[in-house]
Amino acid sequence: MQKGLIFDIKRYSINDGPGIRITVFFKGCPLNCRWCHNPESISPKIQKLFTTGKCIACGECCRICPAQACTLSAQGVVTDDSLCTLCGKCAEVCPTLAMQMSGSYRSVDELVKVIERERPFFDQSGGGVTFSGGEPLLYPDFLVEILEACGRRQIHCAVDTSGFVSKETLLRVARHTDLFLYDLKMIDAEKHRRYTGVDNRLILDNLRSLAESGAMIQIRIPLIGGVNDDNDSLAASAAFIAGLPGEKKTVNLLPYHDVARGKDLKLGQVRDLKGLCEPAQMDLERAIDLFADFGLIASVGG
Amino acid sequence: MERGLHAVPQRKASAEGNFYPIKANAIGPGMNARIQRLRKLSVETEPSLSIERALHETAFYKENYGKYSIPVLRALNFLDHCQKKTLYIGDDELIVGERGPRPRSVPTFPELTCHSVDDFHVLNSRDQQRYTISDEDIATYAREVIPYWQGRTVRERIFAHVPDEWRAAYEAGVFTEFMEQRAPGHTALDGQIYRKGMLDFKRQIAAELAALDYLSDVEATDKAEELKAMDISCDAVILFAERHAELAEALAASEAVLQRRAELQKVAAVCRRVPAHAPRTFHEAIQMYWFVHLGTITELNGWDAMNPGHFDQHLAPFYAAEVAAGALSREQAKELLCCFWIKVNNHPAPPKVGITARESGTYNDFTNINIGGINSDGKDGVSDVSYLMLEVVEELHILQPGCSVHVSSKTPERFLKAACKVIRQGHGYPSVFNPDVYTVELLRQGKTLKDAREGGCSGCIEVGAFGKEAFVLTGYLNVPKILEITLNNGVDPLTGKQVGIETGDARSYTSYEQLYGAFLDQLNFFVDTKVRVSNYIDRMFAKYAPAPFLSVVIEDCISKGRDYYDGGPRYNTNYIQCTGLGTTTDSLSALKKHVFEEQSFSMERFLAAIARNFAGEEVLRQTIVNKTPFFGNDDDTADDIALQIFADLLAAIDGKPNVKGESFHLNMLSTTCHIYFGKMTGATPNGRLAGKSISDGTSPSHGADTHGPSAVIRSLTKLDHTMSGGTLLNQRFLPSLLKRDEDVARLAQLIRSYFTLGGHHIQFNVVDTATLKAAQNAPEDYRDLLVRMAGYSDYFNDMNADLQQEVIERTENESF
Domain boundaries along the sequence of chain A = 3-44+104-300, 47-102
Of the candidates A15, A19, A95, the beta carbon closest to that of B627 is on A95
In a 3-state reduction of DSSP, which class is residue B446? coil
Instruction: Determine contact, residues A192/A168, Cβ cutoff 8 Å.
Output: no
Establish, for the pair of chains A and B, how many residue pairs have beta carbons separated by less than 8 Å.
116
The CATH number of the domain covering residues in A3-44+104-300: 3.20.20.70
Shortest alpha-carbon distance between residue B713 and chain A (Å): 10
Q: Which residue of B has its CA nearest to A252?
A: B790
| B750·A38 Cβ contact <8 A | no
**pLDDT score of B546 more than 80:** yes
For testing the chain B interface, which of A259, A276, A277, A285 should be mutated: the one with the most B CBs within 10 Å? A259
For testing the chain B interface, which of A7, A8, A10, A11 should be mutated: the one with the most B CBs within 10 Å? A11
**pLDDT score of B814 more than 70:** no
Annotation marks residue B454 as catalytic: no
Q: Mean of the pLDDT values across residues A6-23?
A: 94
**pLDDT score of B426 more than 50:** yes
Query: Which DSSP string corresponds to A27-61?
Result: S--S---TT-S-GGGTSSS-EEEE-GGG-----HH
The pLDDT value given to residue B32: 93
On whether any CB of chain B is under 8 Å from the CB of A53, the answer is yes
The pLDDT value given to residue B68: 98
pLDDT tens by residue, A61-89 = 999 999 999 999 887 899 999 999 999 99
| B789·A20 Cβ contact <8 A | no
- CB neighbour list of residue B361: distance below 8 Å, 6 or more residues apart: B2, B129, B349, B672
Question: How far is residue B163's CA from residue B154's CA, in Å, rounded to a whole number?
Answer: 16
The pLDDT value given to residue B777: 83
Measured in degrees and rounded to the nearest 5, phi and psi for residue B617 equal -125, 40
The pLDDT value given to residue B269: 98
The pLDDT value given to residue B12: 37
**Sign of dihedral through CA atoms B433, B436, B437, B442?**
positive
pLDDT tens by residue, A166-186 = 999 999 999 999 999 999 999
Model confidence at A272, in pLDDT bands (50, 70, 90)?
confident
On whether any CB of chain B is under 8 Å from the CB of A95, the answer is yes
Lowest-pLDDT choice from A206-210, B772-776, B778-782: B778-782
pLDDT tens by residue, B678-717 = 999 999 999 999 999 899 889 999 889 999 899 999 999 9
The pLDDT value given to residue B6: 30
Prior bond to A134 cis, omega within 30? yes
In this structure, chain A runs to a length of 302
In a 3-state reduction of DSSP, which class is residue B604? helix
Q: Mean of the pLDDT values across residues B472-482?
A: 95
Residue B786: closest CA among A12, A53, A257: A12
Give whole-number Cα distances, B575 to B413, B668, B728, in Å. Answer: 33, 10, 15
The pLDDT value given to residue A74: 83
Q: Which residue of A has its CA nearest to B620?
A: A95
| B749·A19 Cβ contact <8 A | yes
The pLDDT value given to residue B15: 39
| A125·B746 Cβ contact <8 A | yes
Q: Which residue of B has its CA nearest to A91?
A: B627
Of the candidates B708, B794, B801, the beta carbon closest to that of A263 is on B794
| B789·A261 Cβ contact <8 A | no
**pLDDT score of B61 more than 80:** yes
pTM of the predicted model, to two decimals?
A: 0.93
pLDDT tens by residue, B549-573 = 999 999 999 999 999 999 999 999 9
pLDDT tens by residue, A155-166 = 999 999 999 999
Give whole-number Cα distances, B468 to B192, B278, B554, in Å. Answer: 10, 19, 5
The better pLDDT of the pair B138, B740 is held by: B138
For testing the chain A interface, which of B786, B789, B807 should be mutated: the one with the most A CBs within 10 Å? B789
Query: Choosing from B460, B557, B578, B673, which is the catalytic residue?
Result: B460
Instruction: Determine contact, residues B458/B476, Cβ cutoff 8 Å.
Output: no
Q: Mean of the pLDDT values across residues B773-789?
A: 76
The pLDDT value given to residue B10: 36
Q: Mean of the pLDDT values across residues B596-605?
A: 97
The pLDDT value given to residue B788: 62
The pLDDT value given to residue A302: 63
Give ipTM to 2 decimals.
0.94
| A125·B753 Cβ contact <8 A | yes
**pLDDT score of B620 more than 90:** yes
Instruction: Determine contact, residues B717/B639, Cβ cutoff 8 Å.
Output: no
Shortest alpha-carbon distance between residue B625 and chain A (Å): 8
**pLDDT score of B102 more than 90:** yes
Contacting residues of A for B803, CB less than 8 Å apart: 259, 261-262
Alpha-helical regions (H) of B114-189? 117-125, 135-140, 146-149, 154-161, 164-172
**pLDDT score of B21 more than 80:** no
On whether any CB of chain B is under 8 Å from the CB of A225, the answer is no
Of the candidates B618, B710, B740, the beta carbon closest to that of A118 is on B710
Considering only CA atoms, give the Rg of chain A. Answer: 20
The pLDDT value given to residue B674: 87
Annotation marks residue B335 as catalytic: no
The pLDDT value given to residue B609: 98
The better pLDDT of the pair A275, B444 is held by: B444
Contacting residues of A for B734, CB less than 8 Å apart: none
For testing the chain A interface, which of B752, B757, B788, B792 should be mutated: the one with the most A CBs within 10 Å? B792
Give me chain B's average pLDDT, please: 91
On whether any CB of chain A is under 8 Å from the CB of B750, the answer is yes
**pLDDT score of B810 more than 80:** no
The pLDDT value given to residue B24: 45
- CB neighbour list of residue A68: distance below 8 Å, 6 or more residues apart: A83
Contacting residues of B for A88, CB less than 8 Å apart: none
Of the candidates B620, B789, B800, the beta carbon closest to that of A265 is on B800
Q: Strand A3-13 to strand B469-478: parallel, antiparallel, or no bridges (unpaired)? A: unpaired
The CATH number of the domain covering residues in A47-102: 3.30.70.20
In this structure, chain B runs to a length of 816
Of the candidates A11, A37, A300, the beta carbon closest to that of B711 is on A11
The pLDDT value given to residue A104: 96
Shortest alpha-carbon distance between residue A296 and chain B (Å): 19
Domains of chain B: which residue ranges? 1-32+182-186+301-466, 472-728, 731-816
**pLDDT score of B101 more than 60:** yes
Q: Which residue of B has its CA nearest to A261?
A: B803
Model confidence at B764, in pLDDT bands (50, 70, 90)?
confident
Instruction: Determine contact, residues B717/A119, Cβ cutoff 8 Å.
Output: no
| A19·B800 Cβ contact <8 A | no
Contacting residues of A for B798, CB less than 8 Å apart: 51, 54, 262, 266
Of the candidates A14, A96, A125, the beta carbon closest to that of B626 is on A96
| B618·A19 Cβ contact <8 A | no
**Sign of dihedral through CA atoms B615, B616, B622, B627?**
negative
Residue A291: closest CA among A224, A231, A245: A231
The pLDDT value given to residue B517: 98
On whether any CB of chain A is under 8 Å from the CB of B777, the answer is no
**pLDDT score of B201 more than 90:** yes
Chain B residues 672-711 with a CB less than 8 Å from chain A = 707-711
Give whole-number Cα distances, B532 to B180, B525, B526, B554, B657, in Å. Answer: 14, 11, 10, 27, 10
Query: Choosing from B2, B111, B462, B780, which is the catalytic residue?
Result: B462
Of the candidates B740, B749, B815, the beta carbon closest to that of A125 is on B749
**Sign of dihedral through CA atoms B524, B529, B530, B532?**
positive
Chain A residues 171-210 with a CB less than 8 Å from chain B = none
Cβ neighbours, 10 Å, residue B117: 12
On whether any CB of chain B is under 8 Å from the CB of A21, the answer is no
Question: How far is residue B423's CA from residue B6's CA, in Å, rounded to a whole number?
Answer: 16
On whether any CB of chain B is under 8 Å from the CB of A261, the answer is yes
| A121·B753 Cβ contact <8 A | yes
For testing the chain A interface, which of B619, B634, B810 should be mutated: the one with the most A CBs within 10 Å? B619
